[in-house]
Amino acid sequence: MTKSFYPPLRTLMGPGPSDVSPRVLAALSRPTIGHLDPEFIRMMDEVKEMLQYAFKTSSPLTMPISAPGSAGMEACFVNLVEPGDKVIVCQNGVFGGRMKENVERFGGIAIMVEDEWGTPVDPAKVEAAFAANSDVKLLAFVHAETSTGVLSDAKSLCQIAQNNGALTIVDTVTSLGGSELDVEGWGIDAVYSGTQKCLSCPPGISPVSFSQRAVEVIEQRESKTPSWFLDQKLVMGYWGGGAKRAYHHTAPVNSLYAFHESLVMLEEEGLENAWARHQFHHSALRAGLEAMGIGFLVEEAYRLPQLNSVFVPEGVDEAEVRSKLLANYNLEIGAGLGALAGKVWRIGLMGSACNKQNVLLCLSALENTLSAMGANITKDRAIAAAEAVYSS
């Protein structure tokens, strides 16, 4: 007989999923009700309102999609890209490459603006791409590149798109709740995120928001949106305002209880305080790592506090370190991707995982593991360096 599955208790400090708050897990286990139940609909309206707060937008077309962040990405592209449309796609890591895939699969023409992995999107290159191409419909870029730990200047990039009459699609999967984001203030037209990074919630839901301009473009499409499930015009019938809700698909009822709870927690903490918390614990982690002699991949000005890409010390087998951290400390950190594989670790400080206990656990587990393996690091300094930040 197969037995029930009980996962080990891990500390998740990788690129996501990150630690889920016990409050959110408790919400997940509440009794399932019908997805057209008036009480469920009342909860959905609260989710929409709190999501507007989290994204900083008043747009009524703000809602969670019943699928992971990648589906939110696809929802933005499938609704806004029509065959022959020109889209400037910025790529400075893994996720820009997926944007290109989306553009091409929906018949668009991707004009690539590439920056080295570990550096932000260069606004001057985006300006040049607009200057070299007429009739660009969309600019798409990743705000927080989880594959490298880089933050790009979304505000400036959106301004460039607006100056050139283009709409914007912005990936905020890792920035929402962790770094400053102002969807309406920056004029973002289509934005998607995920629940499992800085929102302390399990994976599987993708919040999205579309501006009024984007809605008009979607409504004026010449071709039928090639995805039935992600067609925003149909989804709106379910999530749209008013008492009359049309059946579209069965909402993941319990996952939405969880998401609701994570948004309640964000409201209680305050958006700006959540951003500041990520920055604060990042400073402590950084002080500890640097005291150990471990350096950062990304230049300080563009570092994501919630995703720290740090160099593996010379001669160390990075995968062995990760498996020891998991086996001995129940601690998960992430590996490098692409050209950075084997060279960096990605240490996440996202959502509920972003706290002092985790910072100290990570520093001591890493120091013990590395010194037992004979790595060339400075010992007995890291915890004091982190504590110095905490007591400052």
As annotated, the binding site includes: 346
Among 11, 12, 14, 16, binds ligand PLP (CB under 6 A): 16
Minimum CB separation of residue 171 from ligand PLP in Å reads: 5
Minimum CB separation of residue 146 from ligand PLP in Å reads: 3
Q: How many residues bind ligand PLP (CB under 6 A)?
A: 13
CA–CA distances in Å: residue 243 to residues 45, 47, 193, 346: 10, 16, 27, 45
Q: Which is nearer to ligand PLP, 69 or 288 (CB)?
A: 69
Query: Does 169 contact ligand PLP by CB under 6 A?
Result: no
Query: Does 159 contact ligand PLP by CB under 6 A?
Result: no
What burial class does residue 108 get, using C-beta atoms within 10 Å of its C-beta: 0-12 exposed, 13-18 middle, 19+ buried?
Answer: buried
Among 41, 70, 221, 387, binds ligand PLP (CB under 6 A): 70
CA distance 54 to 49: 9
Query: Does 173 contact ligand PLP by CB under 6 A?
Result: yes
Query: Does 252 contact ligand PLP by CB under 6 A?
Result: no
CA distance 188 to 131: 21
Phi, psi torsion values for 186, nearest 5 degrees: -90, -5
> Are 75 and 206 within 8 A, CB to CB?
yes
> Are 276 and 308 within 8 A, CB to CB?
no
Residue 36, CB-side half-sphere exposure with 13 Å CA sphere: 10
Q: Which is nearer to ligand PLP, 150 or 265 (CB)?
A: 150
Q: Which is nearer to ligand PLP, 140 or 363 (CB)?
A: 140
What is the x/- site pattern for ligand PLP, positions 93-122, by CB under 6 A?
--x---------------------------
Piece in contact with ligand PLP (CB under 6 A), picked from 63-71, 223-231, 343-351, 381-389: 63-71
CA distance 281 to 275: 10
CA distance 82 to 138: 11
Minimum CB separation of residue 224 from ligand PLP in Å reads: 25
Minimum CB separation of residue 144 from ligand PLP in Å reads: 6
Among 194, 334, 348, 351, binds ligand PLP (CB under 6 A): 194
Piece in contact with ligand PLP (CB under 6 A), picked from 67-75, 77-85, 108-116, 218-226: 67-75
Minimum CB separation of residue 201 from ligand PLP in Å reads: 11
Binding-site residues for substrate sit at: 346
Q: Which is nearer to ligand PLP, 274 or 377 (CB)?
A: 274
Minimum CB separation of residue 132 from ligand PLP in Å reads: 27
Beta bridge partners, 170, equal 141, 191
Minimum CB separation of residue 197 from ligand PLP in Å reads: 6
- The DSSP H or E segment spanning 214 is helix 212-219
CA–CA distances in Å: residue 359 to residues 16, 39, 284: 16, 40, 7
Tokens of 346: 């990605």
Query: Does 14 contact ligand PLP by CB under 6 A?
Result: no
Instruction: Name residues contacting ligand PLP, limited to 76-95 (CB under 6 A).
Output: 95
Minimum CB separation of residue 81 from ligand PLP in Å reads: 17
Among 14, 69, 96, 305, binds ligand PLP (CB under 6 A): 69
What residues contact residue 108 under an 8 Å CB cut-off, 6+ apart? Answer: 77, 81, 82, 83, 84, 85, 86, 87, 137, 138
| Angle CA 287–292–294, to nearest 5 | 85
CA distance 375 to 230: 49
Tokens of 337: 């991707």
Query: Does 171 contact ligand PLP by CB under 6 A?
Result: yes
Query: Does 142 contact ligand PLP by CB under 6 A?
Result: yes
Q: How many residues does the chain have?
A: 392
Query: Does 178 contact ligand PLP by CB under 6 A?
Result: no
> Are 213 and 191 within 8 A, CB to CB?
no
Interface residue list for ligand PLP (CB under 6 A)? 16, 68-70, 73, 95, 142, 146, 171, 173-174, 194, 203
